[in-house]
Each structure stands twice: as structure tokens, then as C-alpha cells.
Amino acid sequence: VAPAAKQETLATSSATIAEGSTMFSSPSIGITFGYPKDWKVTEEKGKITIVPEEKSTFSIVIEKKKRSSNISVDDYVKDQKTSYGQLLQQGLAKIPNVDIAYVKVWSQNGISILEFFLFKADVVLHVTVGPADSPMMKTFDAIISSISL
């Protein structure tokens, strides 16, 4: 992973949650975010899953992890071994309310999945979303932009 200052930004999110949305707060994970009232949010075993209520393959999964202060962001991302198929691209993302955001773009059986690492001090939110070509990505942008740690 190249130094952050020299990387191209791959993703930018600055959408906002529409009026009439619902706020979700998780004291155990320590995050709050807005989501459309017709979507479903569940929290189980340290994972938050967000899905549209309508039948869909689209989903967002959020997990909180810790990063030791002696491990750089670049090293943390390099050490992540989870694979969601073929890695197509990776780099910085612009996400509000976090110190640094990093994204990996995966392809598995023709389906694109985005894997985000959102860093705020020693907290890391690991976020997966897909399929990335879904029209629901606009809603994801609004949700991820509303996250507060």
C-alpha cells in the first residue's frame, strides 16, 4: 500500500439521508447512523446488517474492530486476509466523519463487492456492501456518510 498522500481517491461519499429516515444507535459497537425507514437493521454478535425490506440481494454489513496504535493504517489494511473473490482495485476513499477511509473493490462470479475500512483513532469499521452496481448504492452512500463514531 502506497503512502496515503500519493494514492488516488477511488470512492467519495457525501450523500445525505432523506428527511423521515430512522436513526440507529448501537452502544455495543459505538456507532450511530441514519437509514431509510423502509429498510431493516439487525445487530447480532458484533455485526450490523442493513438490507432493504423488499426482496433484494443488496446488503451492508458493518463490524467494529480495533487497531493497535503501533500499527499503521497501511499495515492494517495489508494484514487483512479476507477475500471476496478477485481484487480489482484498492485505494483511499473520501468518507465524512472518519480520519481515513480505504476501499477494496472485489469481483466474485461477476458480482462486485466493496470492502471499506473506516479509521477513527484506534477504531476500525469494516464495511462490506454489494452488489456494487446496484441502484441502492446511492442509499448506501447516504448511510455511510451519516455514520458517527
Residue whose cell numbers read 448506501: 140
91-107 tens-digit pLDDT: 999 999 999 999 999 99
Paired with 59 in beta bridges are: 130
31 bridge partner residues: 26
- The predicted structure's pLDDT at residue 47: 95
The average confidence (pLDDT) of the chain is 88
> Is the per-residue pLDDT at 26 higher than 50?
yes
Q: What per-residue confidence (pLDDT) applies to 76?
A: 96
Three-state SS string over 42-81 comes to EEECCEEEEEECCCCCCEEEEEEEECCCCCCHHHHHHHCC
16: pLDDT confidence band, cut at 50, 70 and 90? Answer: low
32-90 confidence digits (pLDDT tens): 999 999 999 999 998 999 999 878 899 999 999 999 989 999 999 999 989 999 999 99
CB 98 within 8 A of CB 120: yes
For the chain, percent of residues with pLDDT exceeding 70: 87
